[in-house]
Amino acid sequence: MSTDRLAILGGRPEYSEPLHVGQLYAPPWDEFKDQFDGIFRRRYFTNHGPLVSQLEKDLSEFLNCQAICVTNGTLGLMVALKSLGLSGKVIVPSFTFPATVQALYWAGIEPVFCDVDYDTHAISAEHISPLITEEVTGILYVSLWGGLADTTDIERLAENHSLKLLHDACHAFAASYAKRSSAQIGDVSVFSLHATKILNGLEGGIIATSNHEVADQVRTIRNFHSSHTHAAVPLRINAKMSEAQAGMALLSLTRVRKNVENNLLQWQTFYRNLNDIPGIKIYRYDEQCSGNYQYFNFEIDDVRFGLTRDMLLQCLQSEGIAARRYFSPGVHNLSPYDVLFPQYANTLPNTDKLCLRTLQLPIGAMCTIDTADRISRLIRMAHDDAHLVKNQLAEMP
């Protein structure tokens, strides 16, 4: 039962077990057991087995392009970069999960950090244009928070400058913009099937493309030796998906639409409850976007809200709510990039501001509308009692 006092002010915590961000969908145990029974019976555990083949077939239909399964989203990005023949420098946002930039660096490519548009949280043609030089071979565009922004200007820009466009769609499975799927943006889109994502393969990734030549390269690069394809590739790696991952992802795929619906209900509840609180600005999906609503991202203006983002985070954590600061700090301020590329310090104002202000609340299979109501109530209480919370935090060691 909820108390009328915030835990940080001495009340009883709202949740006794931590409530996490992330979809964290678990299929019915019997269905998962059946998948494993099959794997054990066949004694075929990995190396493009029947479940991976089935998953690739189902995903190709779902995404309406060629879908190739890999071990995780990060390896998916690395393989995609190589299959597109990218080298030299690639333009990338700093406001992203470190994996986006790490994939570039592993592929021997120098990141050119680009600021994001303050409202869409994505890089825009306006921000990208001045960064295009002779050494730049591509753009690594990132879609955040389970949605998609309008990318037509960026696609035109890439085409005009003969740049490859790689889409980090790790958040964006089952999202579309103006009825165009997230798999159709750029030359290649990469999705993550991490347990926290809308499509759960425990770990996992999908490389999606409509280009047969690129698909052939991807299939060759992901397997360190023999492959059914014989594309000439610069190098190979082991990025295969296991049967266990595919078995889980197949079950999760049948539930994706339902999970999106549930997420939307939770997202709308948060929106209704929090939108009028002074100092809170909620990340809005574009009207033409149909998202998967797996992330509820909002911004705190400390002057109007009464507490900084980090103070509110402490309040929520003491209630057993494991809210997250996605993403803070920006990748350009993270090791080793801060030392390797010090020229970006203080040049990405929107990124720096978002990194200081944004917070992510739990949405997903572990949550309900009631969860969203309870968390919202605590956030409102934190705003109402901001001066008490501030004093309390000042006294804490």
Q: Which residues bind ligand T4K (CB under 6 A)?
A: 20-22, 24, 72-74, 96-97, 99-100, 142, 168, 170-171, 192, 194-196, 205, 322, 326
Shortest gap between Cβ of 328 and ligand T4K (angstroms)?
Answer: 11
CB 77 to ligand T4K: min, Å: 6
Tell me the closest approach of the beta carbon of residue 200 to ligand T4K, in angstroms.
9
To ligand T4K, the closest distance from the beta carbon of 265 in angstroms equals 21
Nearer to ligand T4K, 60 or 317 (CB): 317
Please report how close the Cβ of residue 119 comes to ligand T4K at its closest, in angstroms: 18
> How far is the CA of 340 from the CAs of 229, 237, 331, 333, 349, in angstroms?
38, 26, 12, 10, 20
In sequence order, the 6+-apart residues with CB closer than 8 A to the CB of 59 are 67, 69, 206, 208, 253
CA atoms within a 13 Å half-sphere pointing along the CA-CB vector of 369: 7
Question: Which residue number has the CB closest to ligand T4K?
Answer: 73
Nearer to ligand T4K, 21 or 218 (CB): 21
Nearer to ligand T4K, 73 or 111 (CB): 73
How many whole angstroms separate alpha carbon 96 and alpha carbon 285? 17
Of 35 and 360, the one with the shorter C-beta distance to ligand T4K is 360
Distance separating alpha carbons of residues 302 and 281, to the nearest angstrom: 11
CB closer to ligand T4K out of 169 and 280:
169
CB of 42 to ligand T4K, least distance (A): 26
CB nearer to ligand T4K: pick between 79 and 128: 79
Distance separating alpha carbons of residues 187 and 183, to the nearest angstrom: 9
Q: Which is nearer to ligand T4K, 94 or 176 (CB)?
A: 94
Supply the minimum distance, in Å, between the C-beta of residue 270 and ligand T4K.
18
In sequence order, the 6+-apart residues with CB closer than 8 A to the CB of 134 are none
Query: Least distance from C-beta 223 to ligand T4K, angstroms?
Result: 18
**What contacts 220, CB < 8 A, 6 or more positions away?**
227, 229, 230, 231, 233, 236
CA distance 72 to 241: 8
Comparing CB distances to ligand T4K, the nearer of 204 and 306 is: 204
Q: Which helix (H) or strand (E) holds 91?
A: strand 89-93
Which residue has tokens 């955040």? 144
Q: In terms of CB distance, is 111 or 306 closer to ligand T4K?
A: 111
Largest CA distance in the chain: 67
Measured CA distances, 15 to 258, 320, 392 (Å): 26, 5, 21
Q: Which residue intervals of 89-242 are DSSP H helices?
A: 98-106, 125-128, 152-160, 212-221
In whole angstroms, what is the distance from residue 115 CA to residue 311 CA? Answer: 26
For residue 201, the minimal CB distance to ligand T4K (Å) is 9
